[in-house]
Amino acid sequence: MTEKEKYVAELRCLADFYEKSSAELPRPVINREVFSLSADIIPVLLRGCGRLEKSASGGYIELTKTLVFGSIIFNLAQEKVCERKVVGRTWVETRPAIPGHHVDQVEWECKPILKGIEESQ
């Protein structure tokens, strides 16, 4: 049995247990499962998960599938699916003993593979 098959079997076992148990039995807390992805798995993810929310922060894109009992978050490095474009530069002053420096102002242009995913606010 592969690792994937074991994982699926255990999820089914848990679902069967809760289906047969009393309604008063508390559910386990499953807050977030986080997975790191490569860009080539996105089409498979979109076909399998359906609607996802997308947010971008700190150089990563998070694709989130919200479930009744928690959420599954798929992390993807933004540079893997988006093109980084420098649209300007800003001068940043630092402490007197340390010289200032320029910081790039960046916009990301994402490839069409991410189109159709709901953007979170």
Burial tier of 49 (Cβ tally within 10 Å: 0-12, 13-18, 19+) = middle
Helical spans, DSSP H, in 27-95: 42-49, 78-81
Q: Provide the pLDDT for residue 89.
A: 93
pTM of the model: 0.59
pLDDT tens, per residue, the chain with 121 residues: 898 899 889 888 888 887 888 888 777 666 666 677 777 777 777 777 878 888 888 888 888 888 777 788 888 888 888 888 999 999 988 888 888 888 999 888 877 666 656 554 3
The tokens describing 77, both together, are 């490095």
pLDDT of residue 120: 47
Sign of CA dihedral 31, 56, 62, 45: positive
Largest CA distance in the chain: 69
69 DSSP assignment: T
Rg (CA), the chain: 21
